[in-house]
Amino acid sequence: MNKKSALAFFFSTAVVFVAVLALVFWPSQNTTPVARGKSPAAPITQDITPEQLLAQDLALSDTRVHAYTLGSRSEVMGVQPVGMHFTEAAAACATANCQQVNIYNYSTNTTITVLVNVDTRQVVDVLEQPGMQVGVNSRLAQRAIEIIYADEQIPLMLGRAISVDEIMPMDASMNDTTCGSTHQCVGATFFAQNNYDILWVMVDMTDEVIVGYHWTHRDINSSEEVAPYITPENCPPTPPGQITNRDGWTLTYETTPSDGLRVFDVYYNGRLVLKSSKLVEWHADYGTSGYRDSTGCGGGGGFPIYPYGNSQVFNLMDGSDVIGFEVVQDFRMSNWGATCNYRYEQRNQFYADGRFRVAGLAYGKGCGTNSMYRPVVRIDIAVDGDPNDQFALWNGTDWVNRNVEFYHTPYDNQPPNPSTGNGPYNYDANGSIGVVYDTGTGRGFHLIPDRGQFNTNSRGDEPFLYVVQHKPSEGDTDLTQPIGQCCLDDHQQGPHLYVNGEAIDNRNIVIWYVSQMMTDVTVNNYYCWTVSVNPVSTFPCWAGPMFVPYSFNAEPGEPVTHNETHPGGSSSSLQLPAGAVNHPTAILYTVRPTAAAAAPTNWGFADHAFQLLAYQNGYSVPSFTFNQPVNVTINYTEAGIAGLDEDTLTLMYWSGTAWVDAATTCSPTSSYVRDTANNTLTVAICHLTEFALFGENVFTPPPPSYDSYLPLLTRE
């Protein structure tokens, strides 16, 4: 099977005590109404495919895998296609058919991820992930059903008997039990006889016992009947999509088995800014217990919510103006709109001015009226490339570089940690809580949380923030395992396991961002909720940070000098006086390879063009005007001005219809200072737009000539 083929819908299982035990398959589709509404596993309708079996055999024969499993109770939870989601060590998977084998070690509470090149029959990478449980397979789901069905307390608590068909075990956790974070667990939900109360039953699959019960309640305003689950027929068999040079952006995107929509290799105007972003899982927190939902096509263990259609690309609008685009993927359960049926959406937004946003939406309806949604987002930032990144937090008066891994929570009452900051965030005047920048070039991004300012009816993020050193085992592959508890209100959201005091200064770093959105079922104040699907009446909650680019920051009362080098060897220097701005402003300098439009008549382009944008409060300010003139000094090259009259070199700005002398942006008009001996030109500008250097052509076309023709005379 080609690696770009449709994702398979089957799960394999093998207990690893050196040998592989028998496979157990899941029964046919359920027809009884259920509270949770999800399938316990993607149905297996035939034996494991030859390539999956080969990948599994190769993984279980690898000595590195033996080191993590021999002498321990371990089990293969699934085998899935790799797609374009692999580590650097497995780079051959870009063109080869690779499979990912997911193994769970019960004894050490560890997941082992094995990447196998099926074409060459080689194990290309083995990753150990301590403290992680992988999504369960069909054998464990069947065993959970047996345990739940045999429990005598459940019918007494519900006031009715239960059937096998309505038991839907899913990835879940429960506080203060082994199903918090140390054992492999599933949960199932049941409606009580009154059709209002919902009972949660938590099963520890490591010890194979029920460890707890919990009650939630459905919305009293809901009138729909409990709907049966309908197994999805297929996941969209779509290859990765690409966007090339749209509004300056180039990127690739794909739907993963369980990490939702992944956007990767993102460039803006030729510069790498984002290696990868994905929404690993959703925590649906109901106080004491809850679900750890993943989204995708499945295949590697667990029970993801499937994509609803293919990924789509839409315009981002500001009124009637197109200001960028977004890549959108919808994930929903078949009976979304009914109680205990969920819908999630990812929106990766890219603006023509260089901003981007990683956003997630929860629509509900959920298994209770008091649910908290927490999307766990991994952002492998890459400012001017992966290396040399630095993160700084705003402390209320200044930017403070963080040199070791840390987390920050929005609460005061958190466990002490010398590398963390707790309590409400400090926001600078741009609404930013942190900046991530390249230590070599100085370029970076402001990280701006959602506080309701993005015109999406959001009530804000209130995020947990984690900044860690990049490691392949921490998300370079599909994280089929739940990485955290669903239902704690402290820093233990999953990415805390990656905070180990390692260096993050001048490194390749990864940002984990966990927003919080609380359901509101109050009539006329709905949030994270769906009232009905037909007709559609939804009230989704938005979350996710905006990244605003900058080349340098300008603060009131502080002079700034900023230097930029162009590909051809020319350079620019900007000198901002102390009074240039009266509000904190992020300035983005972007090199343009060519002028945006044709040069003026009889003028030539001098191989030096750039754009200046200003951002305040997280938004770009078109045609930003400085309070005082800003000097721009250009150091040009001889090659760049070949064929041009050096004495006529002029910096021009694009007015929208024509190139105009940049000196006229100030009043009175600025004067030029030309030093032809040193190939420099200086002029003051007063507002920002797109600029280019031009000069008059040395060889101008000659004036038209007029020839006279006389009659031809001949002589006999």
State residue 483's pLDDT score: 85
**pLDDT of 661 strictly over 90:** yes
Angle 279-284-288 from CA coordinates, rounded to 5°:
140
Band of the pLDDT at 17, cuts 50, 70, 90? Answer: very low
State residue 24's pLDDT score: 32
In a domain, 704, yes or no: no
d(CA 479, CA 488): 21
Distances (CA, A) of 281 to 9, 22, 362, 485, 644: 20, 30, 12, 11, 58
State residue 281's pLDDT score: 95
In a domain, 222, yes or no: no
CATH code assigned at 94: 3.10.450.40
State residue 138's pLDDT score: 85
542 and 556 co-located in one domain: no
Which residue, 345, 348, 349, is CA-closest to 329? 345
Final residue of a structural domain among 130, 164, 199: 130
Q: Give the 3-state secondary structure of residue 145.
A: helix
413 and 499 co-located in one domain: yes
d(CA 424, CA 465): 12
**pLDDT of 488 strictly over 50:** yes
State residue 230's pLDDT score: 60
In a domain, 686, yes or no: yes
260 and 119 co-located in one domain: no
pLDDT tens-digit series, residues 441-456: 889 999 999 999 999 9
The HSE-up count of residue 657 (CA atoms within 13 Å, CB side) is 0
Distances (CA, A) of 259 to 295, 471, 543: 6, 17, 17
424 and 515 co-located in one domain: yes
In a domain, 152, yes or no: no
Q: Give the 3-state secondary structure of residue 384.
A: coil
pTM (predicted TM-score): 0.86
d(CA 556, CA 576): 10
CATH code assigned at 443: 2.70.98
- Residue 82's φ and ψ, nearest 5 degrees, are -85, -35
Which range, of 374-378, 602-606, 699-703, averages the lowest pLDDT?
699-703
Q: In what order do the strands lie in the sheet with 625-635?
A: 560-565, 571-576, 625-635, 680-687, 673-675
Distances (CA, A) of 184 to 78, 114, 134, 211, 331: 15, 19, 8, 12, 25
**pLDDT of 28 strictly over 50:** no
Residues forming a β-bridge with 404: 503
423 and 564 co-located in one domain: no
Give the rounded percent of residues in the chain with a pLDDT score beyond 70: 88
The HSE-up count of residue 126 (CA atoms within 13 Å, CB side) is 19
Which range, of 38-52, 65-79, 338-352, averages the lowest pLDDT?
38-52
d(CA 682, CA 630): 10
The C-alpha torsion from 53 through 55 and 58 to 59, rounded to 10°, is -110
Q: Give the 3-state secondary structure of residue 164.
A: helix
Does residue 92 or residue 8 have the better pLDDT? 92
Residue range(s) defining the domain that contains residue 329: 241-547
pLDDT tens-digit series, residues 251-277: 999 999 999 999 999 999 899 999 999
Q: Give the 3-state secondary structure of residue 117.
A: strand
Residues forming a β-bridge with 437: 390, 444
365 and 404 co-located in one domain: yes
Band of the pLDDT at 4, cuts 50, 70, 90? Answer: very low
pLDDT tens-digit series, residues 343-367: 999 999 999 999 999 999 999 988 9
Average pLDDT, the chain: 87
Does residue 654 or residue 623 have the better pLDDT? 654
528 and 564 co-located in one domain: no
Question: CB within 8 A of 467, min separation 6: which ones?
Answer: 391, 402, 405, 406, 407, 434, 504, 509, 510, 511, 512
Total count of domains within the chain: 3
pLDDT tens-digit series, residues 104-149: 999 999 999 999 999 999 999 999 999 999 888 888 999 999 999 9
H helical segments located in 3-137: 50-61, 63-69
- Residue 143's φ and ψ, nearest 5 degrees, are -65, -40
**pLDDT of 25 strictly over 90:** no
Final residue of a structural domain among 511, 530, 547: 547
pLDDT tens-digit series, residues 512-559: 999 999 999 999 999 999 998 888 899 999 999 999 999 999 999 999
Question: CB within 8 A of 12, min separation 6: which ones?
Answer: 23, 48, 52, 53, 56, 76, 78, 79, 137
The C-alpha torsion from 20 through 22 and 23 to 27, rounded to 10°, is -160
Tokens in use for 174? 């429960």
d(CA 81, CA 83): 6
Final residue of a structural domain among 78, 100, 130: 130
541 and 564 co-located in one domain: no
For range 383-408, the mean pLDDT: 91
In the chain, the amino acid numbered 182 is T
Which residue, 18, 118, 31, 25, is CA-closest to 60? 18
In a domain, 379, yes or no: yes
536 and 568 co-located in one domain: no
Which residue, 562, 326, 315, is CA-closest to 444? 562
d(CA 130, CA 166): 33
Give the rounded percent of residues in the chain with a pLDDT score beyond 90: 67
In a domain, 663, yes or no: yes
Exposure string of 244-257, with b = 16+ CB inside 10 Å and e = fewer, is eeebbbbbbbbbbb
In a domain, 385, yes or no: yes
390 and 406 co-located in one domain: yes
Exposure string of 135-147, with b = 16+ CB inside 10 Å and e = fewer, is bbbbbbbbbbbeb
**pLDDT of 60 strictly over 50:** yes
**pLDDT of 691 strictly over 60:** yes
Q: Are 497 and 396 in contact (CB under 8 A)?
A: no
Which residue, 618, 280, 674, 206, is CA-closest to 481? 280
pLDDT tens-digit series, residues 366-391: 898 889 999 999 999 999 888 999 99
541 and 656 co-located in one domain: no
H helical segments located in 28-152: 50-61, 63-69, 138-150
425 and 347 co-located in one domain: yes
CATH code assigned at 675: 2.60.220.30
In a domain, 250, yes or no: yes
* Pairing of the two strands 406-409 and 421-422: parallel
